[in-house]
């Protein structure tokens, strides 16, 4: 299971590195992410918030191996890239028009 407190502490520690390396979009997104994580208690119900914060339910497991919990956005990106790679769409710039890209993404399986 994931350790949410450690996860958020790590994001905070990464902020100076984002700024120092000029990755300002990463820094901005990390700040917004941390703000969203602080607001979760007001958005979620008490039971869901408890599961999310103390029981490690903020990660997704694609396998039962230890240390394989993945953030939801990384899971979505990995699944998207796995589905697009055989067609060469996003990885090789082949299906660059909007209609073909929409067709590929709409035909994908839902997570």
Query: pLDDT per residue over 20-77, tens digit each?
Result: 999 898 899 899 989 988 887 788 888 888 887 777 676 666 666 665 556 566 666 6
Is 99 strand, coil or helix? helix
pLDDT at 15 over 80: yes
> What are the extents of the domains in the chain?
1-57, 71-110
User: Pairing state of beta strands 69-71 and 59-61?
Assistant: antiparallel
Tokens encoding 96: 């660059």
pLDDT at 16 over 90: yes
Strand pairing partners for 71? 59
Please identify which residue in the block is written with the tokens 């408890």. Answer: 50
Strand pairing partners for 70? 60
Under 8 Å between Cβ of 34 and 8? yes
Half-sphere CA count of 93, side-chain side, radius 13 A? 0
């Amino acid at each position: 299971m994931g350790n949410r407190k450690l996860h958020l502490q790590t994001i905070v520690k990464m902020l100076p590195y984002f700024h120092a390396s000029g990755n300002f979009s990463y820094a901005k997104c990390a700040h917004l992410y941390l703000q969203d994580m602080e607001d979760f208690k007001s958005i979620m119900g008490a039971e869901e918030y408890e599961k999310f914060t103390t029981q490690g339910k903020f990660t997704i497991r694609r396998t039962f191996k230890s240390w394989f919990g993945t953030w939801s956005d990384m899971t979505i990106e990995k699944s998207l890239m796995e589905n697009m790679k055989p067609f060469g769409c996003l990885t090789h710039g082949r299906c660059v028009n909007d209609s073909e890209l929409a067709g590929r993404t709409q035909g994908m399986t839902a997570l």
